[in-house]
Amino acid sequence: MPKPKSVKRNINPLVVALVYDGFCMFEFACAAEVFGLPRPELGANWYRFETCSVGGRSVHGQYGLKVIPDGGLDRLAAADTIIIPGWSGVDVSVPAAIIKALRAAHSRGARLLSICSGSFVLAAAGLLEGKTATTHWRYADALQRGYPGIRVDPDVLYVDEGQVLTSAGSAAGLDLCLHLVRRDHGSETANNVARRLVIPPHRDGGQAQFVQHPVQKRERSSLSPLMDFMRSRLDQTFTLAELARMAAMSERTFIRRFKQATAATPADWLTGVRVERARELLENSLHSIDSIAEQTGLGTAATLRHHFRRRLGTSPTAYRSRFA
């Protein structure tokens, strides 16, 4: 397959979502909510959003819904970003016209993003061959069996391979869409979109698709003041004894309740918060790596690099060059 050409991103880049008979409504709504909702507060360069189908014909989706798309597959030829919001079934063949249009779009440099079972469409087009990809954990084995040339990772929320991006089931599509907004517009804009959606502003793609210990709302509320205190003083060092005393608990009780609330030890949780703050500073400031390490309580640049790579899979310098 020819090497994709780099293309200059347009003002108001066009995002086109493929719709099809039996289309997955929630996955489609994730893309429409992030890219299709007018956001004048974010400036003049926000996305344009369209839909397309084979032949431009109306399609029927889940829950009795009917969609009249903006056009046919020719819209994919104009798109900067193409979204495949699921597929009608992992055993349902992909029409040759869709495969041809996706390959052509990929060759000219368009970005392609799949949500949930939409990865099977990209796989059928040969666009995931030799790449790492994910899908809903229920479908991961089927994707790997059907396409052994793909490195399927069933344990992550999303995978960014640059031009081709895949996400896990349903709500992970929101995480991937926000990740793309962050790539294009920075963390402040992505955070504003997340705030309007009333969802967390950033879940790293490497986060597990499911957590064995769900957050306990009652415990989290009792520890929230302490957690806010820790966030506001990331450059300080805290001992377990100090934290337990501030929470008015024994050390053993404090550890147990903290893990119930966050599925992490206090030390692991605090490291995660520090890395997240370092990520924000890398995107939005000119501080040196040493300064960021000091401000976030990670101490040295070496320690920052260690934790950053362990949690985000890249170095602080590489992250800044990509997202700043």
pLDDT score for 251: 94
Q: What is the pLDDT of residues 153-192, one digit of tens each?
A: 988 889 999 999 999 987 899 999 999 998 998 888 888 8
- pLDDT above 90: residue 44: no
What is the CB-side half-sphere exposure of residue 143 using CA atoms within 13 A?
A: 30
Please state, as a whole number, how many other Cβ atoms lie within 10 Å of the Cβ of residue 115.
34
Given 197, 226, 250, which residue is the final one in a domain? 197
Give tens-digit pLDDT for 238-287: 999 999 999 999 999 999 999 888 878 999 999 999 998 998 899 888 99
DSSP-derived 3-state class of residue 51: strand
Residue 211 above 80 pLDDT? no
Q: Is the pLDDT of residue 4 over 50?
A: no
User: In this model, does residue 221 exceed pLDDT 80?
Assistant: no
* pLDDT surpasses 90 at 150: yes
CA angle 70, 186, 105 (to 5 degrees): 35
Q: Is 103 exposed, middle or buried (0-12, 13-18, 19+ CB in 10 A)?
A: middle
Q: How far is CA 220 from the centre of its chain?
A: 25
What are the CA-CA distances from residue 248 to residues 222, 254, 260 (Å)? 11, 8, 17
Residue 60 has pLDDT above 90, yes or no: yes
What is the pLDDT, as a whole number, of residue 321? Answer: 82
Tell me how many domains the chain contains.
2
For residues 72 and 185, membership in a common domain is answered with: yes
Q: What is the mean pLDDT of residues 296-320?
A: 90
End-of-domain residue from the set 197, 232, 248? 197
Average pLDDT over residues 14-39: 94
> In terms of domains, do 44 and 136 share one?
yes
Q: What is the pLDDT of residue 261?
A: 83
Residue 288, SS3 per DSSP:
coil
* Residue 212 confidence (pLDDT) above 80: no
Distances (CA, A) of 304 to 62, 207, 276: 46, 19, 11
Relative to beta strand 151-152, strand 66-67 is unpaired
pLDDT recorded at residue 6: 38
- pLDDT computed for residue 11 by the predictor: 61
Share of the chain above pLDDT 90, in %: 67
Say which residue, 2 or 36, is predicted with more confidence.
36
What percentage of the chain has pLDDT greater than the value 70?
Answer: 90
Average pLDDT score over residue span 61-74: 93
Q: Quick one: pLDDT band at residue 305, thresholds 50, 70, 90?
A: very high
Domain that holds residue 66: 14-197
* Residue 8 counted as domain residue: no
C-alpha 252/C-alpha 131 separation (Å) is: 45
User: Residue 210 — very low, low, confident or very high, per pLDDT cuts 50/70/90?
Assistant: very low
Coil vs helix vs strand at 153:
coil
* 205 or 185, higher pLDDT: 185
Cα gap 198→89, rounded to integer Å: 30
Answer yes or no: do 19 and 153 share one domain: yes
End of a domain among 162, 197, 232? 197
Residue 203 located in a structural domain = no
Of 262, 266, 265, residue with least CA distance to 214? 262
Burial 80-100 (b: 16+ CB within 10 A, else e): bbbbbbbbbebeeebeeebbe
Residue 214 has pLDDT above 70, yes or no: no
87/229 same-domain check? no
Q: How far apart are the first and last CA of the chain?
A: 31
Q: Provide the pLDDT for residue 316.
A: 92
In contact, 60 and 25? CB cutoff 8 Å: no
Inter-residue contact 281 to 292 (CB < 8 Å): yes
Identified catalytic residue from 24, 30, 52, 116? 116
Is residue 207 domain-resident? Answer: no
- Evaluate if residue 213 carries a pLDDT over 60: no
Q: What values do phi and psi take at 32, rounded to 5?
A: -65, -40
SS (H, E, C) 289-308: HHHHHHHCCCCCHHHHHHHH
**One domain for residues 190 and 319:** no
The runs of H, that is alpha helices, within the chain are 25-31, 96-107, 119-124, 140-146, 172-185, 187-197, 217-232, 240-246, 251-262, 266-284, 289-295, 301-312, 316-323
183 and 322 part of one domain: no
* Residues 230-245, mean pLDDT to the nearest whole number: 93
Distance (Å) of CA 204 to CA 2, 111, 152, 195:
31, 20, 18, 17
Residue 177 a catalytic site member: no
Contacts of 241 (CB under 8 A, 6+ apart): 251
d(CA 138, CA 154): 9
| Across 139-166, average pLDDT | 94
| Tens digit of each residue's pLDDT (9 = 90 or more) over 81-132 | 999 999 999 999 999 999 999 999 999 999 999 999 999 999 999 999 999 9
CATH code where residue 257 lies: 1.10.10.60
**How sure is the predictor about 152, in pLDDT bands with cuts at 50, 70 and 90?**
very high
